[in-house]
């Protein structure tokens, strides 16, 4: 076996993990899993996963553990080896990603305690979006506030990077052109990708921005926040709880933040939430296309995007004026190209694989001693 790489994607309620073998130009998934509705301490879960990995390796040594870290701020623009200074710097970004950053770092600390000799690598959801034009990321705020790195960062970068690489294999011409990728899950965003590079995205400083999500509202009028503070007396803590945990699909429907529940529900409030979700995708997609001067392809991915034919169909129906046409049978299958031959825009449904991107980055980093691009690894 070549280098063994374990990936950990720690969230607020689940922990995804995967074990990869990296050798030469191959990156092969050995096994993977997910622990949902986690109630145990991170150290207990990580102990179980490390023991599981040891059993899979059959005596081979675990070379590295790669982590998904949601917010890298301005300082972290590519994967890095984790040390104490890295953890401290990432802790300071927790207010910008309170749902994710604490859980990401808890997994890092657990591995450090249990396997101090294993290299750990941080891979950032924000990194793919570095390099935007200045006007894309700037807020129209007083200049003296800009020193605090208040700017748009964007998220879901590991997913977008995977899809960009996968499309280079499936449709090189489209991958070199203008794609809008819709990462639709409990967290949701769009990314405008031109020739494999992010040029715009719907999320901003935090993961609250952009589309309607499971429990997050997406873009809001800043005056609404002022109103809630002044007229209702809401504290910063109450606002954080409401905006991160009780808004979005859950807030509008009053039923659930899970799209599967809403699609199955006969309740009119569920339909209201779905209608808003679709409307905001279509509206924001127009902005992504404008940032590229048009678009040649649309790729749906993540839990809703890759799995819900109904949501894909409803979004594309509202894009017919742009020449978007689905092939119904292909949309129901939901794997690969789903647009009709007569469609002016190529439409795809693809599963994403953040764990594979984490493993590719970790292996490139430890193998070369420098953070070279992970593009040397075949995506599948």
293 token code pair: 């001067």
Range 108-124 burial, b when 16+ CB lie within 10 A, else e: bebbbeebeeebbbbbb
3-state SS assignment for residue 79:
coil
3-state SS assignment for residue 219:
coil
Which parts of the chain are beta strand (E)? Answer: 3-10, 14-23, 26-36, 62-69, 80-81, 119-124, 178-184, 188-194, 197-201, 297-301, 336-337, 346-349
d(CA 345, CA 325): 8
Comparing C-alpha atoms, which of 359, 352, 341 is closest to residue 305?
Answer: 352
- Catalytic site residue from 3, 125, 209, 296: 125
The conformation of residue 98, written as its DSSP 8-state character, comes to: T
Count the helix, strand and coil residues of the chain and give each as a percent rounded to the nearest 5.
45, 20, 35
- Compute the Cα dihedral for 367, 56, 354, 96 and give only its sign: negative
Beta strand pairing status for 178-184 and 26-36?
unpaired
Count of beta carbons in the 10 Å neighbourhood of residue 329: 8
125 is catalytic: yes
d(CA 11, CA 14): 5
The conformation of residue 299, written as its DSSP 8-state character, comes to: E
3-state SS assignment for residue 296:
coil
Residue position matching structure tokens 């899979």: 56
d(CA 294, CA 297): 10
Residues designated catalytic: 125
């Amino acid at each position: 076996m070549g280098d063994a790489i374990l990936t950990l994607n720690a969230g607020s309620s689940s922990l995804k993990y995967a074990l990869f073998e990296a050798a030469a130009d191959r990156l092969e998934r050995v096994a993977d899993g997910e622990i949902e509705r986690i109630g145990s301490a991170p150290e207990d879960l990580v102990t179980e996963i490390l023991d599981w990995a040891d059993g899979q390796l059959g005596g081979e040594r675990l070379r590295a553990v790669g982590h998904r870290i949601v917010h890298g701020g301005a300082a972290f623009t590519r994967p890095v080896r984790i040390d104490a200074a890295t953890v401290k710097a990432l802790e300071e970004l927790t207010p910008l990603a309170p749902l994710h950053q604490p859980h990401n770092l808890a997994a890092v600390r657990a591995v450090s305690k249990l396997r101090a000799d294993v290299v750990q690598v941080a891979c950032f959801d924000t990194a793919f979006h570095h390099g935007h034009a200045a006007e894309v990321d700037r807020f129209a705020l007083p200049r003296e506030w800009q020193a605090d790195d208040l700017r748009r960062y964007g998220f879901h970068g590991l997913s977008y990077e995977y899809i960009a690489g996968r499309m280079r294999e499936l449709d090189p011409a489209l991958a070199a052109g203008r794609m809008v990728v819709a990462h639709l899950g409990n967290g949701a965003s769009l990314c405008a990708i031109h020739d494999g590079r992010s040029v715009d995205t719907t999320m901003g400083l935090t993961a609250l921005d952009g589309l309607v999500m499971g429990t997050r509202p997406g873009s809001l009028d800043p005056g609404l926040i002022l109103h809630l503070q002044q007229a209702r007396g809401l504290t910063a803590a109450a606002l954080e709880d409401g905006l991160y945990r009780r808004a979005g699909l859950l807030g509008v429907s009053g039923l659930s933040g899970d799209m599967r529940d809403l699609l199955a529900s006969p309740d009119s409030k569920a339909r209201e939430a779905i209608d808003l979700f679709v409307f905001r995708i279509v509206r924001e997609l127009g902005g992504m296309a404008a940032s590229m001067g048009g678009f040649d392809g649309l790729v749906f991915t993540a839990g809703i995007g890759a799995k819900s034919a109904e949501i894909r169909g409803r979004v594309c129906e509202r894009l017919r004026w742009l020449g978007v046409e689905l092939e119904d049978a292909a949309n129901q299958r939901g794997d690969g190209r789903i647009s009709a031959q007569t469609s002016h825009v190529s439409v795809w449904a693809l599963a994403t694989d953040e764990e594979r991107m984490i493993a590719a980055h970790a292996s490139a980093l430890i193998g070369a001693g420098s953070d070279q691009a992970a593009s040397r690894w075949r995506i599948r």
